[in-house]
Chains A and B, each alone.
Chain A
Amino acid sequence: MNTAAALPILIPLVLMIIMIINRSDTLARWTGVAGSLLLLACSVYLFATVRHSGILTLQAGGWRAPFGITLVIDLFSGLMLMAGSVILVAVSVFSVRFIREDCCNNRFYVFFFSLAMGLNGSFITGDLFNLFVWFEVLLLSSFVLITYGSTPQQLKGGVKYLALNLLGSLFFLAGTGLFYGETGTLNMARLAELLREGEYSASLNVSAILIFVAFGIKGAVFPFHFWLPASYHTPNITITSLFAGLLSKVGVYAMIRVFTLLFMHDQVFWQHLFLVVAGLTMVIGGMAATAQYETRRVLSYHIISQIGYMVMGLGIYTPLGIAGALFFMIHNMLAKTAAFMVAGLIRRVKGSYELMEIGGLYRERPLLAVLFIVPAFALAGVPPLSGFFAKFILIKAGLEDGHYWITAMAVFTAMLTLFSMIKIWNEAFLKKTPGNHPGINPPVRLNWIDLFPPAFLGSLSILMGLFAGPVFRFALEAARVLTNVSPYIESVIYGLSP
């Protein structure tokens, strides 16, 4: 059933319309949870179908491949759809109590689902211009969400976020237009075929670099990362955890997709560029994270440093390296969102995000300590958790291919990560509560709805570590499809399933 390929876009669309009509707060919350669960079920089904019977394609409106818009779900898209839906489920449960904190409006869910639609759309589209459109859907919903409470802080953060991301979109559009002028098509499979046949090298680099800059801005890659730490700590923590899990990863997804499928020429140049950028992103993000004293800021800078690892996987460009990048992406989505949620819970309990003003949580809330230590150790890369295998695959791929510098950087950055996680641990959990900041009285009770989402994501991260073998096999298969593109081209253009 190829029509099912449109479901990841249609379900959020319908839910969005329901949310616009709906006026009840309670109904909105539970429809949010139910809708995300439905999305998860649908993406699991699609992933199973793709794994069973090969790449799914849907020619929208019945127009044949190079002319119409094609939706393509290969293993990579399937994996990302699944990971994205898991984050959506966790965030929708988390939002049940948290979204009321400073903006008690059920309109949140309208933009929550339009964000989901943009996200899924960018994962499954097979057309470069269509990717731009989905990016815009994603961006506009995120603009609304990031300025949702309209506090001065949020508006200031929002302006910065908006400025750089809009510029990024224009770069993408310009790159796409020039690309069309050069090749005469925007269907990614057709482009991949054309680029492998003809001689296009020199002038294509203009659009390649424009598109690289655009995705670099969206993915918060050094030196385009400045918007991320300037804006991620301003909105409601639900929205921050949603963004932390999804937004910058879409940029990396698009980068991996486009640079494996289309820009194949000048391999050496791009590989070097990716590795240099990856190294700088890792180290600079990691170092900046160690200097911060606000939980959300530490974690935001830390997102940047983790993006470096994903770009490193792309830069290594062997199937193992790309598989490492995919594994890392999924791990990072889970662990990062969980870490931000725990930061929100700490705030709920202690009334502050500032590490100087909180403490003593280990004694007061042992359960919260466990919930924090799982994603923190996963991010740092401690063995039984998902982060260890993610880093291990990348480092192995780097050593096998002889990229010693970047591998050394990756190991060094892992240390920086460990340091910043231990810092949060020491300050928030181990240290005594500072005398001048007694916290909230009477103590806040956390119920299961608050604790469930980070626990859910944390246990997924543990499972991903324990069952690293099967997950890695999926990632490696997906990476093989990415590096050997002929099945992709055949199934899109000639309608063959491999």
Chain B
Amino acid sequence: MEVILAILVGILFTAGVYLLLRRSIVKFIIGFIFISNATNLLVFMASGLLAGAPAFIRDEGGEKIIMADPVPQALVLTAIVIGLGITAFTLALKYRFFQVTGTDDLDQLKRTDQ
């Protein structure tokens, strides 16, 4: 499982970087979404995966239960929400940008910094 996810993270990062380097802003945003999801997966996997183990257990004492680490899950949840907010803002910015400048081409942005 971890190997598959690790490969997936790699693929997402690669695709994301490729899209970030494109000239279109829409592709940039998609690339950002890819990288942000790749990062989320990376954080999720950071403390190891346990298939089927619960993250919360009742404190009954006695028998030992294998328990998944809840912290990375909480972290990823937060990061996903933040990512959602940022993506929404980026899309709105892109929409406004297109309305005002009439272009989607990042090469048209060169003039702000000489």
Residues of A within 8 A of B (CB): 129, 132-133, 136, 140, 143-144, 147, 150-153, 155-160, 162-163, 166-167, 170, 173-174, 176-178, 180-181, 184, 186, 226, 229-231, 233-234
Is A129 touching B97 in the complex (CB atoms < 8 A)? no
Residue in B43, B44, B100 whose beta carbon sits within 8 Å of that of A152 in the complex? B100
Known: A129-B78, A159-B97, A226-B113. A143 touches B46 (CB 8 A): no
Supply 6 further A-B pairs (C-beta < 8 A) apart from A143-B89, A152-B100, A231-B112: A140-B86, A150-B100, A156-B112, A162-B90, A173-B39, A233-B112
Total count of chain B residues near the partner, CB < 8 A: 36
Chain B positions within 8 Å of A226 at CB level: 113
Is A230 touching B32 in the complex (CB atoms < 8 A)? no
Chain B positions within 8 Å of A170 at CB level: 35-36, 39
Residue in B44, B90, B96, B106 whose beta carbon sits within 8 Å of that of A155 in the complex? B96
Chain A positions within 8 Å of B45 at CB level: 181
Looking at the assembled complex, report how far the CB atom of A113 sits from the nearest CB atom of chain B, in whole angstroms: 18
**A to B CB contacts below 8 Å, 9 in the list:** A129-B78, A147-B96, A156-B97, A159-B25, A176-B43, A177-B43, A177-B75, A181-B45, A181-B48
Q: How would residues 56 to 100 of chain B score, 1 for a CB under 8 Å from any chain A CB and 0 otherwise? A: 000000000000000110010011001001100110010011001
In the A-B complex, the 7 residue pairs with the smallest Cβ-Cβ separation, listed nearest first, are A177-B43, A181-B46, A230-B113, A177-B46, A155-B97, A156-B109, A174-B39
Chain B positions within 8 Å of A229 at CB level: 113
Is B75 touching A180 in the complex (CB atoms < 8 A)? yes
> What secondary structure prevails in chain B residues at the interface with A?
helix
Looking at the assembled complex, report how far the CB atom of A147 sits from the nearest CB atom of chain B, in whole angstroms: 6
Looking at the assembled complex, report how far the CB atom of A331 sits from the nearest CB atom of chain B, in whole angstroms: 27
Chain B positions within 8 Å of A234 at CB level: 112
Is B39 touching A178 in the complex (CB atoms < 8 A)? no
Is B97 touching A166 in the complex (CB atoms < 8 A)? no
Known: A158-B93, A159-B93. A180 touches B35 (CB 8 A): no
Q: List residues 36-55 of chain B with CB under 8 A from any CB of chain A.
A: 36, 39-40, 42-48
Known: A136-B82, A173-B43. A180 touches B72 (CB 8 A): yes
Chain B positions within 8 Å of A166 at CB level: 32, 86, 90
Chain B positions within 8 Å of A153 at CB level: 112
Is A181 touching B39 in the complex (CB atoms < 8 A)? no
Q: Which residue of A lies closest to B40 (CB)?
A: A173
Instruction: Give the docked Cα–Cα distance between A30 and B89 (Å).
Output: 29
Residues of B within 8 A of A (CB): 20, 25, 28, 32, 35-36, 39-40, 42-48, 71-72, 75, 78-79, 82, 85-86, 89-90, 93, 96-97, 100-101, 106, 108-109, 111-113
Instruction: Give the docked Cα–Cα distance between A414 and B12 (Å).
Output: 45
Chain B positions within 8 Å of A140 at CB level: 85-86, 89
Instruction: Give the docked Cα–Cα distance between A153 and B36 (Å).
Output: 27
How many residue pairs bridge A and B at CB < 8 Å? 94
Instruction: Give the docked Cα–Cα distance between A407 and B90 (Å).
Output: 42
> What secondary structure prevails in chain A residues at the interface with B?
helix
Instruction: Give the docked Cα–Cα distance between A274 and B51 (Å).
Output: 42
Instruction: Give the docked Cα–Cα distance between A495 and B93 (Å).
Output: 46
Is A163 touching B28 in the complex (CB atoms < 8 A)? yes
Instruction: Give the docked Cα–Cα distance between A129 and B76 (Å).
Output: 10
Chain A positions within 8 Å of B32 at CB level: 166-167
Chain A positions within 8 Å of B39 at CB level: 170, 173-174, 177
Q: Which residue of A lies closest to B82 (CB)?
A: A136
Looking at the assembled complex, report how far the CB atom of B73 sits from the nearest CB atom of chain A, in whole angstroms: 12
Residue in A163, A177, A230, A233 whose beta carbon sits within 8 Å of that of B72 in the complex? A177
Instruction: Give the docked Cα–Cα distance between A392 and B31 (Å).
Output: 46
Taking each of A132, A144, A162, which has the highest tally of chain B beta carbons within 10 Å of its own beta carbon? A162
Instruction: Give the docked Cα–Cα distance between A290 and B27 (Å).
Output: 36
Chain A positions within 8 Å of B111 at CB level: 156
Is B112 touching A160 in the complex (CB atoms < 8 A)? yes
Instruction: Give the docked Cα–Cα distance between A178 and B89 (Å).
Output: 27
Is A167 touching B20 in the complex (CB atoms < 8 A)? yes
Residue in A180, A230, A231 whose beta carbon sits within 8 Å of that of B46 in the complex? A180
Q: Which residue of B lies closest to A151 (CB)?
A: B100
Instruction: Give the docked Cα–Cα distance between A266 and B52 (Å).
Output: 39
Instruction: Give the docked Cα–Cα distance between A180 and B111 (Å).
Output: 42
Instruction: Give the docked Cα–Cα distance between A173 and B72 (Å).
Output: 11
Is B113 touching A133 in the complex (CB atoms < 8 A)? no
Is A129 touching B75 in the complex (CB atoms < 8 A)? yes
Chain A positions within 8 Å of B93 at CB level: 143, 147, 155, 158-159, 162
